[in-house]
Amino acid sequence: MDTSVTIKDVAARAGVSVGTASRVLSGNPATSASARERVNQAATELGYRPDARARGLRSARSHAVGLLVSDVRNPFFADVAHGAEQAALASSYVTLLANANEDTAQQDTYLEAFLTQRVDGIIIAPQGEGSGNLRALERGRTPLVFVDRTVEGFEVPSVTADNAEGVDLAVAHLAAQGHTRVGYIGGPPSVSTGRARHDAFLAAVARHGLDQDPELIAVGDFRSASGSASAAALLAADRPPTALLAADSLMAVGALGEVRRRGLRIGTDLALVAFDDIEWFGEIDPPLTVVAHDARALGERAMRLLLEVIEGGTGESVVLPMRLVVRESSTGRPAD
């Protein structure tokens, strides 16, 4: 055996990168069959043997986990991150926080960085599958947990909220106040929560006998500017809604600004219900009715689930309940 042979020599002989050679030789399945064949053949021909001490160091845990949120500017995800971080610290882990900025390309960049940093596991609020890093993580059996959102076709444990319950609570409340034309400001259909809440809204409107006019639905992107634009479009219709349901806190902020710019009074001229109970929603005039779920609990449960997977557990997905917090923004009767 030639102890001077290194993994760089193996990679050069096989015609692959050092990273690919390392993954093949460590048994990581996130490689192609062709690459595995070439690397193993090169290692045999060169008489390469991995250094047992280095292999032991690589297998040691870093006690660091990655947390990739969708938008750090969104108070909801700030609370998710806080809950996850505190749960990690309680188990002697540190958290590396990253921001996807609601973009799959930026998501891929940070997932690659997490792998480079040798984190023991990753929690992600996914924007979608992206260009392949998320799938590579799944194939490579990196401990992985989805929080708030999921991606179709991935067998990954998740911690999410009961979107159907939350939407139905809001629609039922507005129906009880006498509203029949409820405008809905939804998230992008490319994101699981966007699809789930949209479908739940359609089902709730039908169940409570409200107007099913498709012009009462607008699509945003979970950011305030889209909430403003969506509210403007809905309120400019020939038959505008008497109530708005915004499927995210930032879009609710945008909608609130547009309503006020039009000289309308929330709770009197127009009812408004928002998703996510960010701290100051209860302090504005009038206070906003919200579909609330515990963002900190989402983060905490996701971290506990990830640590379970890191320890070799299978990890069972969790769905947390939602509740309606009724305030003055939605308690007035619609104008005749």
Q: CA-CA distance, 150 to 156, in Å (whole number)?
A: 8
pLDDT of residue 166: 97
Residues 199 and 122 in one domain: no
With vertex at residue 293, the alpha carbon angle to CA 177 and CA 150, rounded to the nearest 5 degrees, is 115
Of 19-33, 85-99, 101-115, 321-335, the poorest mean pLDDT is in: 19-33
The model's pLDDT over 245-269, given as tens digits with 9 standing for 90+, comes to 999 999 999 999 999 999 999 999 9
CATH number at residue 144: 3.40.50.2300
Q: Is residue 2 part of a domain?
A: no
Cis ω for the linkage preceding 75 (within 30 of 0): no
Which of 165, 166, 164, 161 has the alpha carbon at shortest distance from 289? 166
Residues 112 and 134 in one domain: yes
Of 46-55, 167-176, 208-217, 261-270, the poorest mean pLDDT is in: 46-55
Q: CA-CA distance, 218 to 203, in Å (whole number)?
A: 16
Give the range with max mean pLDDT: 14-28, 130-144, 164-178. Answer: 164-178
> What rounded mean pLDDT belongs to the chain?
90
Residues 53 and 88 in one domain: no
Give the number of other Cβ atoms within 10 Å of residue 162's Cβ: 17
Residues 261 and 200 in one domain: yes
Q: Is residue 335 part of a domain?
A: no
Query: Are the C-beta atoms of residues 39 and 13 closer than 8 Å to each other?
Result: no
* pTM exceeding the 0.75 threshold for the entire prediction: yes
CATH number at residue 36: 1.10.260.40
Q: Is residue 192 part of a domain?
A: yes
Query: Are the C-beta atoms of residues 7 and 48 closer than 8 Å to each other?
Result: yes
SS3 (DSSP) at 273: strand
Q: Which residues contact 178 (CB under 8 A, 6 or more apart)?
A: 333, 334
Residues 259 and 310 in one domain: no
The total domain count for the chain is 3
Give the number of other Cβ atoms within 10 Å of residue 280's Cβ: 11
Q: Is residue 336 part of a domain?
A: no
SS3 (DSSP) at 309: helix
Mean pLDDT of 3-19: 84
Q: Is residue 1 part of a domain?
A: no
Which two three-digit tokens encode residue 249? Answer: 């806190």
Give, in order, the Cα–Cα distances in Å from 47 to each of 5, 24, 33, 34, 35: 8, 16, 21, 20, 18
Q: Which domain holds residue 37?
A: 7-59
Which two three-digit tokens encode residue 280? Answer: 């100051």
Query: Is residue 142 predicted with pLDDT exceeding 90?
Result: no
Q: CA-CA distance, 23 to 16, in Å (whole number)?
A: 11
Residues 286 and 168 in one domain: yes
pLDDT of residue 12: 92
pLDDT of residue 205: 98
Query: Is residue 56 predicted with pLDDT exceeding 60?
Result: no
Query: Are the C-beta atoms of residues 272 and 329 closer than 8 Å to each other?
Result: yes
- Tell me the helix, strand and coil percentages in the chain, rounded to 5: 45, 15, 40
Q: Is residue 189 part of a domain?
A: yes
Residues 145 and 48 in one domain: no
> Where does residue 19 rank: exposed (0-12), middle (13-18), buried (19+ CB within 10 A)?
middle
